[in-house]
Structure 1
């Protein structure tokens, strides 16, 4: 091996949970690009092979050391997003995953108190699903939204916000032994 060559340690994978229809082609695409430029290994559902069962995403959560949950107004409309959140919370409680909540155009209190559009969307979803599932989602919402995260303010630059997210993810990755 050449002495001048630096071997870069492969960083643990980051799992990103977000409401695709709302964010995929705008905010999230810029975040993914920023991660690629910084060499951050991340996983989104788009990377999964077509034809795989959706439950395979739970395996990707298990393989990850950090999860970023991008809460948006429509996040709670999606049963799948809420199921991912519950699985992320399960792994966090086991001490096998760190979660960083990102509040994209939602207030943290809207998640905790189920108010605003987020709360409306959650209640609509909950009506369609069983009590057991809804209880699990509420526990995960309370837990993950109660962690230190990042919030996009109404008059904030998305570009600056993405830089902050990348910095926080790098800090979290560097803290993993």
Structure 2
């Protein structure tokens, strides 16, 4: 086996283990994965494309993103390596959390704990959106970008499914960014 391929696969495994251990929530992990992957195993354009496609296609966004990054960096073996790194931490964590919740499910403090987490989750999603929106500090956000963001927010407000919103934003981008 070629050592360079092996080192790419080890890097992918470590990258996804780290991302999924430090940020086990789907949307929040995108910002961390951006920092880990862009410039090391893929370009910024490839990453934005990966995030867009992973949200449009059905299924788990995290797993689709792992497959895209894994394939871009290490081909088919890279896909399996990235998937292993992406699946292992949440699986172990879910087994541990399920075991704990099973023991304490009737406790009042657990209900308060869950209610207290909701604003933090909203804040994490806002921070990821902010990072993705301000990816390059040198890039200026123009009216077209703001228009697409506003149109997407309005569509989501009217409960249009997010894959359709992303598809619509992509179509708008084709016409607005010629």
For Structure 1 versus Structure 2, the TM-score category normalised by the shorter chain is under 0.3
Question: Computing the radius of gyration over CA atoms, which structure comes out larger, 1 or 2?
Answer: 2
Task: Kindly indicate which of the two structures has a greater share of residues assigned to strand.
Answer: 1
Task: Kindly indicate which of the two structures has a greater share of residues assigned to helix.
Answer: 2
